[in-house]
Structure 1
């Protein structure tokens, strides 16, 4: 960004104008909703699922990030608010871009590794804030029957990423087509 009178970029010539330019761009550019879920397993390999009171389907534990909140912090906050446990999430397993649907704009869904809970830790789980009707530790087969297809794909990819020590990128719960 230069003008004819000076070859230096605007950020060097006029820092105030540069900040105004950035603010204008920030006000006009798209904003994404961000969700942060946690893959938690027990010692038998079952996965923690939750039944939210505000929607008809089972889900992974977690929730939406607040403004300017890092996704991993959102996952930890949601686990404490909804399940009463303080948890440090591990590495990122999946990021899933979700297309606009119904009244919702597109969003980014992150799934972090919550690790394996010991039996005393699973016994300490509780419904903490009224957003959840129930929770359960489910086998993968049971999870597949409880979850919406795109959430099941997100979960199955999270399990695979955890096993392979990798991270996966999804589009609407599935691997994007190879454009190569």
Structure 2
């Protein structure tokens, strides 16, 4: 059954029509992480308590939260650090896997913390058991699967100054 499209000048009917369409459209999960370094150039990785393996700092967006705000909020909540994001490095569309629907994952360049900030950095809630600054090579060895691939492409984007779009951890554009 086809629904009649209301007159856009009938604000209430038009908004109800748009809300019905919005409710039927797909929702995407959004994750946002950051490459953050200490003054010696080591990258920050974290060890979450809720999943196996190391990860980049960041997390999942809340409803209607922009990805860059997600990174800032997560780093403040979990590590007590304020970051200024310099630029976008990677956008990765992650295919459905296990019980999860697809997801859009961002990695931003968070620059370099000063030594005092780096020295004070430690987990502040029960979502992280550890935080460590490690070399890029060590991070690549500790990170797993698509997170490792995303990290490696983020390093490339950081070096070239060109952000990358990935599809499940592989560049497509």
Structure 1 length-normalised TM: 0.88
* Matched residue, 1:174: 170
Match of 1:71 among 60, 67, 72: 67
Q: Deviations over 1:125-146 (max 9, x none)?
A: 1110111010111112111111
Do residues 137 (structure 1) and 98 (structure 2) align?
A: no
CA distance in 2, matches of 1:130, 1:66: 18
Q: RMSD of the alignment, in Å? A: 1.6
CA distance in 1, matches of 2:82, 2:73: 8
CA distance in 2, matches of 1:93, 1:84: 23
Equivalence map 1:4-83=2 (5 Å): 10-11=7-8, 13-83=9-79
CA distance in 2, matches of 1:89, 1:79: 12
Do residues 92 (structure 1) and 84 (structure 2) align?
A: no
Q: Deviations over 1:2-45 (max 9, x none)?
A: x8xxxxx932x433322122101110000001111011012222
CA distance in 1, matches of 2:135, 2:147: 15
* Matched residue, 1:6: none
Q: Is the 8 A contact 2:84 2:111 kept in 1?
A: no
Match of 2:153 among 132, 153, 157: 157
- Which one has the largest radius of gyration? 1
Instruction: Kindly state the Cα deviation for residue 149 of structure 1 after the two structures are TM-superposed.
Output: 2.3
Instruction: Look up the SS of the partner of 1:170 in the other structure.
Output: strand
CA distance in 1, matches of 2:7, 2:32: 37
CA distance in 2, matches of 1:87, 1:14: 45
CA distance in 1, matches of 2:170, 2:55: 17
Instruction: Kindly state the Cα deviation for residue 87 of structure 1 after the two structures are TM-superposed.
Output: 1.6
Equivalence map 1:101-120=2 (5 Å): 101-120=97-116
Q: Which runs of 5+ in 1 are unaligned?
A: 4-8
Instruction: Kindly state the Cα deviation for residue 101 of structure 1 after the two structures are TM-superposed.
Output: 0.5
